[in-house]
A and B are shown apart, each in its own frame.
Chain A
Amino acid sequence: MLAYAIKRTLFTLPIMLGVSLVCFALVHLAPGDPLVSVLPPDASQAIKEQMMALYGFDRPYHEQFARWLARVAQGDLGTSIRTGRPVSLEVGKAVGNTLMIATLATLIGFVLGTLFGFVAGYFRDSWLDKAASAAAVFGVSVPHYWLGMILVIIFAVQLGWLPPTGAGPGGSEAWVWDWVHVQHLILPAVTMSVIPMGIIARTVRALVAEILSQEFVAGLRAKGLSEFGVFRHVVKNAAPTALAVMGIQLGYLLGGSILIETVFSWPGSGLLLNDAIFQRDLPLLQGTILVLALFFVVLNLAVDVMQTTLDPRIQRA
């Protein structure tokens, strides 16, 4: 088990290298001048060249990549052109904020999704199945910014129960785990949760229906297990796939939904990416994409390792 985990971890190293190369290339292939947002339009050619040299943009790409990679390996993602602060600091804060709502959203989505999925799978073709499946389709297909705005109108404007936007008094800098701040999480997290909810519900429904049609379920009944006893077996059979889907969903949500974070002015990675793109802040963009991509790789690794502990049929060589 441990050997497998180590081996699987080593396999991620080339993946990470590839990810960083793609990420560097994408950012530099995009047209536009990276310094356009910091330099005044009438800046002299000399100043421009001086700035280019300062950020290393004048060197050949492969050299830029090598220098960047060497610094990244030491934990230095460079400096944001716009704010002049370390990219690692900016990204860390934004990813942390997104992690809060993404984790909460995934948990809500997973709980509701598995619930709907199990109900639909167990009572296939009944009205319960149709209701649960309808909820799942709604989750996957509703425009999320629209849902976010509707929720704001209902719960913030009409009922006044929850704050409409932001991260609480003092912004995300002054975050504390108390109700005054935590209530700001609820609306964005609920809005975000309908995506994993729908996908997990549909996956679990198909899984449960497939498992229940297998002969071993008759075998379990034949040895005298109660419906609850059979249910436990169904859960363990469905768990590896359901957890894998959940992990991948968390990965997607970590990228931060630009639309949802914009609707709620949530200072997360989606908002940060948005800013970095529009202001052509190359070091920030590059760093943010890299961190998110690496997060995805690590998450997949965790899902893989977890699956092998749950499903004995996966080779643990």
Chain B
Amino acid sequence: MSATAEGPVLDIRGLRVTFTGGARPVRAVDDVSLAIARGEVVALLGESGSGKSVTLRSVLRLHPPRKTRIEGTIRVDGTDVMTLEGAALAAFRGKGASMIFQEPMLALDPVYSVGDQIVEAILRHERMSRAQARQRALEWFEHVRIPSPERRLEAYPHEMSGGMRQRAMIALALACNPKLLLADEPTTALDATVQVQILLLLRELQRELGLSMLFVTHDIGVAVEVADRIAVMYAGRIVEIGSVRDVIRTPRHPYTAGLLATRAHGGRLSGNRLPAIAGSPPDLANLPPGCAFAPRCGHAGESCMHEAPPVVAIGAGHEARCVLLKTAA
């Protein structure tokens, strides 16, 4: 219990991920820095292709090494993830940080029972007998409130409902008491009613166990529900970060403001068109020289087109990457 116990559980600095497998290199994540304190939940919010899942997967180094170039530093509870290789990397995965996948049907091995897959993870990281590991898996199944857990341990993924599978996935991710939980859109593939249940379960577990969590989502409502802070990503960069309250009430980046405006409210009068952000996200293999959002931005000036916007601090822990804020300040 030294200095690391005081520092952030996750500390990403200057992360840059480039996929080199295709004809042209694709910069999926560019200069992302993010820290998560112990017991804190940060939501990475963005649309498809904004780099939020790529950032998340980088923490476990899940990208194929031959086709990916990763720069920057990632520390999880003081461990430098970027320097881990082979056995040390495998020992870190699932124990230092573990992950809940978007689609548990695809993320679980179809030919092993769910119980066996959890037992396998426990035995990988803990010194205990198979029977003890099974007992622990059973306890986690009870913890995530899977009905008749003993019978469910024997079930194969295809024999469970979507919600049950995601509960099992959560049990699997938490089975080795990881220091950091990574959640990759864990409710996106589920029915709306099940989404709420899984979200409530995750929030409850997070409070009870004091989990530190990085939560990727494209749904502002979900982010508001689970997170302490929100980081909004666009075209591989974090364009705005701050407390949920600050980002939702006083969004400072035009993209964040646009996102919030597109939300459908129950009270919206019928017949009114839902506002949308015009245009589409840029091609990551061919980014504009200036601000990536400038072509779609209503406030964009001449300088936005060829000058990369600076990060501007707005208030305590509230920052945005926009040139307009600098001139205002």
Answer whether A and B are interacting partners.
yes
The residues of A with any CB-CB pair to B shorter than 8 Å are: 214-216, 218-226, 229, 233, 236-237, 310-313
Q: Are A311 and B111 closer than 8 Å at their CB atoms?
A: yes
Check B27 for interface membership: any CB of A closer than 8 A. no
Contact B99 A222 (CB under 8 A): yes
B91 within 8 A of A: yes
The answer for the CA separation of A216 and B120 in the assembled complex, in Å, is: 14
- What is the 8 Å Cβ interface bit string for chain B, positions 167-209, against chain A (1 contact, 0 not)? 0000011001000000000000000000000000000000000
Q: Does B106 lie within 8 Å of A224, measured CB to CB?
A: no
Chain A CB within 8 A of B263 CB? no
Contacts of B92 in A (CB 8 A): 224
Residues of B within 8 A of A215 (CB): 101, 103, 106-107
- Could you say which residues of chain B place their CB within 8 Å of the CB of A237? 109-111
Q: Which residue of A lies closest to B106 (CB)?
A: A215
Q: Indicate whether A214 sits within 8 Å of B106 (C-beta atoms), given known contacts A224-B94, A224-B125, A310-B111.
A: yes
Whether B111 contacts A224 by the Cβ 8 Å rule is: no
The 4 closest A-B CB pairs, nearest first, are A224-B94, A223-B94, A219-B107, A215-B106
Name which of A224, A226, A229, A313 has the most chain B CB atoms within 10 A of its CB: A224
16 A-B residue contacts at CB 8 Å?
A: A214-B106, A216-B106, A219-B101, A219-B107, A222-B93, A223-B94, A223-B120, A223-B124, A224-B93, A224-B95, A224-B125, A226-B87, A237-B109, A312-B110, A312-B111, A312-B159
Residue pair A225, B110 in contact (C-beta under 8 Å): no
By a beta-carbon cutoff of 8 Å, the part of chain B in contact with chain A is 57, 60, 62, 87, 90-95, 98-99, 101, 103, 106-113, 120-121, 124-125, 156, 158-159, 172-173, 176
Not counting A218-B62, A222-B99, A223-B172, a sample of 13 additional A-B residue pairs whose C-beta atoms are within 8 angstroms of each other reads A216-B106, A218-B57, A219-B107, A223-B93, A223-B120, A224-B91, A224-B94, A224-B95, A225-B124, A229-B124, A237-B109, A310-B111, A312-B113
In this complex, the member of A215, A218, A219, A237 whose beta carbon has the largest number of chain B beta carbons within 10 angstroms is: A219
How far apart sit A223 and B137, CA to CA, in the bound complex (Å)? 14
CA distance A216 to B108 in the complex (A): 5
Residue ID in chain B nearest A234 by CB atoms:
B109
Q: Chain B residues near A223 (CB, 8 Å)? A: 93-94, 98, 120-121, 124, 172-173
Check B90 against A226 for contact (C-beta < 8 Å). yes
CA distance A233 to B107 in the complex (A): 13
User: For residue B101, which residues in chain A have a CB less than 8 angstroms away from its CB?
Assistant: 215, 218-219, 222
Task: Give complex CA distance A215, B87 in Å.
Answer: 21
Name the distance in Å between B102's Cβ and chain A's nearest Cβ: 8
Chain A neighbourhood of B110, CB < 8 A: 216, 237, 312-313
Within the complex, the shortest CB–CB distance from A195 to chain B, in Å, comes to 28
Complex CA gap A221/B59 in Å reads 13
A residues near B87, Cβ cutoff 8 Å? 226
Closest chain A residue, CB of each to CB of B95: A224
**Cα of A224 to Cα of B91 in the assembled complex, Å:** 6
Q: How far is the CA of A310 from the CA of B156 in the complex (A)?
A: 12
Residues of B within 8 Å of A311, CB to CB, are 111
Contact B124–A222 (Cβ < 8 Å): no
Contact across chains for B111 and A222 when beta carbons are under 8 A apart: no
Identity of the chain A residue whose Cβ is nearest the Cβ of B104 in the assembled complex: A219
| Cβ contact within 8 Å between B98 and A220 | no
List chain A residues, Cβ under 8 A from B99.
219, 222
How far apart are the CA atoms of A223 and B182 in the complex, in Å? 12
